[in-house]
Structure 1
Amino acid sequence: MKIAMGADHAGYRLKDVLKPFIESLGHEVQDYGANGADSVDYPDYASIVCEKVTSGEVDKGILICGTGIGMTIAANKVPGIRCALVHDLFSAKATREHNDSNVLSLGERVIGPGVAEEIVKIWLETDFSNGERHKNRVGKVKALEDKYAAQP
């Protein structure tokens, strides 16, 4: 699987820990920065990663900032993105099974690298349940996106 990763200045250290971990699981990682502590704007990185996901250049995306909140908000503005902010193992599994999330958001200041690795592993290995009720619900989310995108 191809995974796009992006982080701001508050998340780049966790990105740098997760990148080799994800590669050790057999996935290809495309790193879109940031790569240092100089202040940058999280929407810029969310945009790059989400465009790679929606274009099909990558299968999934992972975004990291201080809390994960800013990245999640920015990512979910991109049509076709279902970004989930996850800080626990149950939510990592549930967001894939029930919501078919295609972007994962993490907060470096909220979780440590060990928990982050477990979350990422579960999230990457869990399939969408594809049950009728979950397909219908994801379809309704898409309909909301289409409805509000069509407004002037």
Structure 2
Amino acid sequence: MKIAIGADHGGFRLKDEIIKVIKELGHEVMDFGCTCGDSVDYPDYALPVCEQVVSGKADRGILICGTGIGMSIAANKIKGIRCALVHDVFSAKATREHNDTNVLAMGERVIGPGLAAEIVRVWLTTEFSNEPRHVNRIQKVQALEEKQS
């Protein structure tokens, strides 16, 4: 898989650790920054990652900021993105199985690199269940998105 990743100043250190995990799993990484602790705006990094996912140039995306909240809000404004803010392994698995999320958001100031690595491993290796009840719910979310766009 191709994984697009981006972070703001609050998440760039964790991004570098997660890139290692993605590569260890045999996936290709598309890194959209940032690369230092200078203050930047998270929407500027969420947008290019999500554009890669929506266009099909990336299979999934990962966004990291201080809490993950800002990144997840920005990502979910983009048509075609289903971004989940995740800080535990159970939610990482559930959001793939039930919600078919295509973008993962995490917070560097909330979780450490060990837990983040395990979340990414589970999220990248869990497939969507394709159960009719989950498919129906995703279709309803997409209908809401269409209605509002």
User: Which TM class, normalised by the smaller chain length?
Assistant: over 0.9
Match of 2:99 in 1: 99
- Structure 2: 5+ residue runs without aligned partners? none
Alpha-carbon distance between aligned partners in 2 of 1:7 and 1:120, rounded to the nearest angstrom:
15
Match of 2:8 in 1: 8
- Counting aligned pairs with the same residue, the percent is 70
CA RMSD of aligned residues (A): 0.3
Match of 1:36 in 2: 36
Alpha-carbon distance between aligned partners in 1 of 2:123 and 2:21, rounded to the nearest angstrom:
13
- Structure 1: 5+ residue runs without aligned partners? none
Alpha-carbon distance between aligned partners in 2 of 1:73 and 1:106, rounded to the nearest angstrom:
12
Match of 1:122 in 2: 122
Amino acid in structure 2 at the alignment position of 1:49:
V
Alpha-carbon distance between aligned partners in 1 of 2:59 and 2:148, rounded to the nearest angstrom:
26
Match of 2:25 in 1: 25
Match of 1:138 in 2: 138
What is the 5 A alignment of 1:38-117? Answer: 38-117=38-117
TM-score (norm 2): 0.99
Q: Tell me the CA shift for residue 20 of structure 1.
A: 1.3
Alpha-carbon distance between aligned partners in 1 of 2:101 and 2:74, rounded to the nearest angstrom:
15
Alpha-carbon distance between aligned partners in 1 of 2:21 and 2:83, rounded to the nearest angstrom:
21
Q: What SS does the corresponding residue of 2:64 show, helix, strand or coil?
A: strand
Q: What SS does the corresponding residue of 2:90 show, helix, strand or coil?
A: helix
Summarize deviations over 1:3-62 as a string: whole Å, max 9, x none.
000000000000011101110110000100000001100001000100000000000000
TM-score (norm 1): 0.97
Alpha-carbon distance between aligned partners in 1 of 2:21 and 2:123, rounded to the nearest angstrom:
13
